[in-house]
Amino acid sequence: MFVPLNIISKDLDWKSIVAKMPIATMISGGQFNEELKKTEKKYRINMNLKIHCATFETAVSVLRSGEFAAILPDFHENELDKETIKRFNIPIYNKHKRKLSLVYKKDLFNRKSKSEQIISSLVSILPF
């Protein structure tokens, strides 16, 4: 979970943050949100889920507003300003760790004019 530093006191733990801070996450439904519900039940907390976004990119935009925390995949950390946003580990992350791979067809890559730019952009944000 990522939290703007301007809305938290530094001594809070993740349980306090998810209960107190308004949080942006994905639209309800699916495996990710089922894990959120299980986490709430297991730790006897009620997450303050205020905004349900259609994409993680939208949740990043909401986070950058400085008014909301956001539950996002780890790979978004590379896009965020570490001076203004802090990452907190919450138990749901451990169940959703996945390896990402970048695969492309070389002859198609050579024919498409924007392919090099797209591949370079992906390589810059993926954790290797």
CA angle, 48 as apex, 45 and 54 as ends, to 5°?
Answer: 125
Give CA–CA dist 24/68, Å, rounded. Answer: 6
* Segment (H or E) for 3: strand 2-4
Across the strands, what pairs with 26?
Answer: 53
Domains and CATH numbers, the chain: 2-95 (3.40.190.10), 98-128 (no CATH)
pLDDT digit string (tens) for 72-83? 887 788 889 989
Q: What pLDDT, on the 0 to 100 scale, is given for residue 85?
A: 93
pTM score, two decimals? 0.67
Nearest to 22 by CA among 41, 4, 38, 42: 4
Q: What are phi and psi of 35, to 5 degrees?
A: -65, -35
User: Tens of pLDDT along 95-111?
Assistant: 555 566 666 666 666 66
